Amino acid sequence: MSKGKISIDKHFIRNTAVDDRIFSAFVEHLGDVIYNGIYNPSHPQANEDGFRKDVIDLVKNLQLTGIRYPGGNYICSYNWEDTVGPAEERPVRADLAWQQTEPNTVGLAEFEKWTKAVGSSLIMAVNLSTRGAVDAANLVEYCNHPGGTYYSDLRRKHGHENPYGIKVWCVGNEVDGPWNIGTKRAEVYGWDAAEAAKAMRRIDKDIELVAVGSSGTQLPTYLEWDRVVLEHVYDSCDFISLHRYMGMPDIDNPSTYDQKDIGDYLELAGRLERNIKDVVAACDYVKGRKHSDKTMYISMDEYNVIDIIPDDEQNHQEKKLWETGPSGHSRGLSMKSTLLFGLSMLTLLRHSDRIRIACQSILINGGGLVMCEGNDDAWVNGSYYIFQHCSLYGRGKVLEEVQEGTLYNTKTCNDVSALDSVCIYHEDEQELDIFVVNKSGEQMDFTLTPAFFRELEPIEHLVVTAENPEAHNSAEHKDVIQSVSRNDIISKENRIQCKLDKYSWNVLRIKER
Ligand code: AHR
């Protein structure tokens, strides 16, 4: 049996309010995310717009604040003008990022409608790889200007009298990545982004702008890119982006840890934490150099865990060229990756003083939260429940905590704690929600010692786990990993006690009497 203990004090607050936009996601014109994913007019569950109702319902239950769109790498050859107006008149394009055929059947208006149907709002990206400041400003004009100008009247002609009012805009995507068309040097991108920001804000001064930060720690330009870009955009942008796909060989370099050792694998969350601290340091360095009073925030606008695919499966994956909506990697996320996802969400919440936007990526298919290939019924990964728990119960004050967990050694790390946690206090509701991961392969005896709270009364204990850390959900077996509610929290002498399953994600929901 391992042990875990957290001590908290009602007055010791780490962050007074988590920004709601941390509970956002990313949707790209990539593989079967849009076509054959959310949009499939021949699916039995399709609505009058061709969108799958089962997918809409599942996404709705996540209470996403924002959805970043339309790319991703897709943005590098994106012509927004192709995606508006009568669908039958839109050009079919060769998408240079993914070498897919883009029919533009789902364009800006359609996707905006879908975003509304799932109860969310758009976070829009502009192409700053192969297009420029004026094209970006024209898109802002089309979306946000009330009328009386060419592009705003074009929107009205297209049947959208009222502006879309899109608040957050990403000024490009991964422009430092050699995999993209239109890669730029930091000085060039920084200059272009500052000019684009100027033009976009001339149309709408109230928008918030995200500049492109380093796309990955593996790049030789890592952090130096951020410094140079920030020198250019510090006054004109509000956020710098950070992307992280944990478990991806390029990024996490499998020769530096043992992929088969679960302990080692779960410690990859520590690399995300380091990545965040690095970018915060770059922001604050530039702030200092500029003698600025402004704080630069992080938009972690793409993050996920990518399961390691066994070699035999990987070798059989052929790249399909010039298809529309080709099915991609439809394997469910393993329980150990689900836990790593949970640890990432804890890291995000812990750093929510500087991370103000975060988009889980990719929302649909490709190892995302919701899986909906072909004409099958939709199903969800274990990460869906973790995201949902955080979205429903994570919007409050983040408390400081002292954590003590049984220490153990992994293959390459010594003295790692079996416990990780974040405590959220909802003052108005007088509710405490404690997210806890038991990283160990043993049941955990967990205790919470709270100070200055009134008497505490358990509400429920939500658990996500599976007997086998390699187990995953699939179209055939949808509920191998699910969220269950238990009634096993003990409140005794103002301490909270509970047993946590091995390798489990937990939410302890407690109320002040
Ligand atoms: O989500 C897939 C891709 O990952 C995105 O297009 C890109 O921004 C990132 O490299």
Average pLDDT of the chain is 96
- DSSP for 119-165, please give it: T-EEEEEE--SSS-HHHHHHHHHHHH--SSSHHHHHHHHTT--S---
Tell me what the mean pLDDT of segment 262-276 comes to.
97
Tell me what the mean pLDDT of segment 384-394 comes to.
98
Residues pairing with 419 in the sheet? 438
pLDDT digit string, tens, across residues 98-152: 999 999 999 999 999 999 999 999 999 999 999 999 999 999 999 999 999 999 9
- For residue 71, which atom of ligand 1 is closest to its CA? 6
Asked if 297 contacts 353 with a C-beta cutoff of 8 angstroms, the reply is: no
Distance, CA of 417 to CA of 440 (rounded, Å): 9
CA-closest residue to ligand 1 atom 2 = 72
CA-closest residue to ligand 1 atom 4 = 72
Compute, in angstroms, the gap from residue 97 CA to the centroid of ligand 1. 10
Q: Can you give the C-alpha Rg of the chain in angstroms?
A: 23
CA-closest residue to ligand 1 atom 7 = 72
**Distances, alpha carbon 475 to alpha carbons 248, 316, 332, 358, 479, in Å:** 24, 20, 9, 28, 10
Distance, CA of 297 to CA of 171 (rounded, Å): 15
Tell me what the mean pLDDT of segment 378-399 comes to.
98
Distance, CA of 366 to CA of 185 (rounded, Å): 30
Question: For position 373, what pLDDT does the model report?
Answer: 86
User: What is the distance, to the nearest Å, from the Cα of residue 474 to the centroid of all Cα atoms in its chain?
Assistant: 22
CA-closest residue to ligand 1 atom 6 = 72
Question: For position 109, what pLDDT does the model report?
Answer: 98
Residue 317 binned pLDDT confidence (cut-offs 50, 70, 90) = low
Q: Report the 10 Å Cβ neighbour count for 98.
A: 23
pLDDT at residue 312 tops 60: no
Compute, in angstroms, the gap from residue 72 CA to the centroid of ligand 1. 5
What share of the chain in percent tops pLDDT 90?
95
Specify the residue for token string 């203990």.
Answer: 5
DSSP 8-state code for residue 480:
S
- For residue 362, which atom of ligand 1 is closest to its CA? 1
CA-closest residue to ligand 1 atom 5 = 72
Residue 385 binned pLDDT confidence (cut-offs 50, 70, 90) = very high
- For residue 179, which atom of ligand 1 is closest to its CA? 10
Tell me what the mean pLDDT of segment 391-413 comes to.
97
pLDDT digit string, tens, across residues 318-335: 778 999 999 876 789 999
CA-closest residue to ligand 1 atom 9 = 72
Q: Is the pTM of this model over 0.85?
A: yes
Compute, in angstroms, the gap from residue 16 CA to the centroid of ligand 1. 32
Compute, in angstroms, the gap from residue 306 CA to the centroid of ligand 1. 12
Question: For position 494, what pLDDT does the model report?
Answer: 84
Compute, in angstroms, the gap from residue 244 CA to the centroid of ligand 1. 10
Pocket-testing residue among 241, 245, 246, 301, ligand 1, by greatest number of atoms within 8 A of Cβ? 245
- For residue 245, which atom of ligand 1 is closest to its CA? 4
Question: How many helices (DSSP H) and strands (DSSP E) are in the chain?
Answer: 12, 26
What's at 184, amino acid-wise?
Answer: K
Question: For position 310, what pLDDT does the model report?
Answer: 65
pLDDT digit string, tens, across residues 469-488: 999 999 999 999 999 999 99
Distance, CA of 378 to CA of 321 (rounded, Å): 25
pLDDT digit string, tens, across residues 150-190: 999 999 999 999 999 999 999 999 999 999 999 999 999 99
Tell me what the mean pLDDT of segment 286-304 comes to.
98
- For residue 216, which atom of ligand 1 is closest to its CA? 10
- DSSP for 204-232, please give it: -TT-EEEE---S-TTSTTTTHHHHHHHHH
- For residue 304, which atom of ligand 1 is closest to its CA? 1
Question: For position 331, what pLDDT does the model report?
Answer: 83
Compute, in angstroms, the gap from residue 342 CA to the centroid of ligand 1. 21
Strands (E), 10-81: 13-15, 24-26, 66-69
Compute, in angstroms, the gap from residue 101 CA to the centroid of ligand 1. 18
Catalytic residues: 174, 302
CA-closest residue to ligand 1 atom 8 = 72
Q: Which residues line ligand 1 (CB under 6 A)?
A: 28, 30, 71-73, 173-174, 243, 302, 361-362
